[in-house]
Structure 1
């Protein structure tokens, strides 16, 4: 059984959610009304703390994304996203660090707020310099992007 607790601002106000999710495997979903959640929080300090931590992480992540979008060049954002993906989804192999997820140049462009051609150009440059090996949507990092 996997326990996943994620709260956004929609759990605390009456506005509609900004996004949705789809279960990739058979799942049991339990929904709480805002009123029920409020009652639980009043009686469980640990739950309150977990929710506070979740919201704090989201604020920190969004603040960092705003900073990246405002002050970093597209190439920097692409490399930083690749580093994050490597940390979260990378597996060490004899050839380097291989990502266990697949994505297109367009999907990566959407993640970092740039166009597909900039992503393709940056990835081709990294490949030419020997940092990555890319076959279709499979990525292996053959040398560290940062030292």
Structure 2
């Protein structure tokens, strides 16, 4: 059975801390400015946030936060990737989302003061901007536009959760896999001559964790899509073809 991760206690870094001193303030500012949560904020708000965040570096496999722990800070990914997961009683892992540079997480506990709702694990060496509850509240008092952005972001996540629930209830494994691959292409892919190129192809176990299935079932479905030319495995990358995107859109509209 998979052991459940626990997060590393987080000290407040000081200016002398190399985790902070080694970071370019302009890079911190740029990360905040491109984060969807802080999109279109005025310069004064970006500067205020830049002065409030701390920097934390996390190694591969480390838990940034652990489910059911109290939460007193939110995070913005500066570089690297984080997966949001839950574990069943048997240790089975379900991946709720994959987050990359500019994405934020951990906001929910800051508002309802409840425990963390899931584990967040670094899947690459990751650098995070850390914003405490107190600093976020003080910032929003001075810059209420950030609160509006937060509401919009929460609504977007709720809409996505509704779509995921509907897929689990109404779609078979093949359809769920198609939707997940198309989503990966749109979120992480770069345009290429044959379609959207996902630089890092997820493993079949990772895909199984994302859509609530087992690796053996995903292997059969994935290989069939490849034989049909709807996806093109290419070394460590994966091409999501326009034909697969069209198929997903038709099923969504049906």
- For normalisation by structure 2, the TM-score amounts to 0.51
Report whether the alignment pairs 1:93 with 2:192: yes
Greater strand content: 2
Unpaired runs of at least 5, structure 2: 1-26, 38-103, 248-254
Question: Equivalences for 1:5-44 in 2 at 5 Å?
Answer: 5=37, 6=104, 8-17=107-116, 18-22=118-122, 24-27=125-128, 29-33=129-133, 35-44=134-143
Matched residue SS, 1:121: helix
Question: Among residues 78, 83, 91, which one is paired with 2:177 in the alignment?
Answer: 78
Number of residue pairs aligned between Structure 1 and Structure 2:
145
Matched residue SS, 1:76: helix
Matched residue SS, 2:232: strand
CA distance in 2, matches of 1:71, 1:142: 24
Does the 8 Å contact 2:182/2:240 carry over to 1? Answer: no
Q: Alpha carbons of 1:118 and 1:132: their partners in 2 closer, same or farther (altered >3 Å)?
A: same
Q: Per-residue deviation at 1:95?
A: 4.2
Deviation sequence 1:51-98 (CA, Å, 0-9, x none): 111111111111111111111111100000111111112223334432
Q: Per-residue deviation at 1:16?
A: 1.8
User: What's the counterpart of residue 223 of structure 2?
Assistant: 124
Does the 8 Å contact 1:95/1:142 carry over to 2? Answer: yes
Greater helix content: 1
Unpaired runs of at least 5, structure 1: none
Question: Among residues 140, 146, 156, which one is paired with 1:57 in the alignment?
Answer: 156
Q: Per-residue deviation at 1:143?
A: 5.0
Deviation sequence 1:19-66 (CA, Å, 0-9, x none): 335483445x33222x55344434432011011111111111111111
Matched residue SS, 1:15: coil
Task: List structure 1 segments (4+ residues) > 6 angstroms apart after TM superposition.
Answer: none
CA distance in 2, matches of 1:142, 1:53: 31
Does the 8 Å contact 1:104/1:137 carry over to 2? Answer: no
RMSD: 2.3
User: What's the counterpart of residue 251 of structure 2?
Assistant: none
CA distance in 1, matches of 2:222, 2:215: 10
Most deviating of 68-77 and 14-23: 14-23
CA distance in 2, matches of 1:71, 1:63: 12
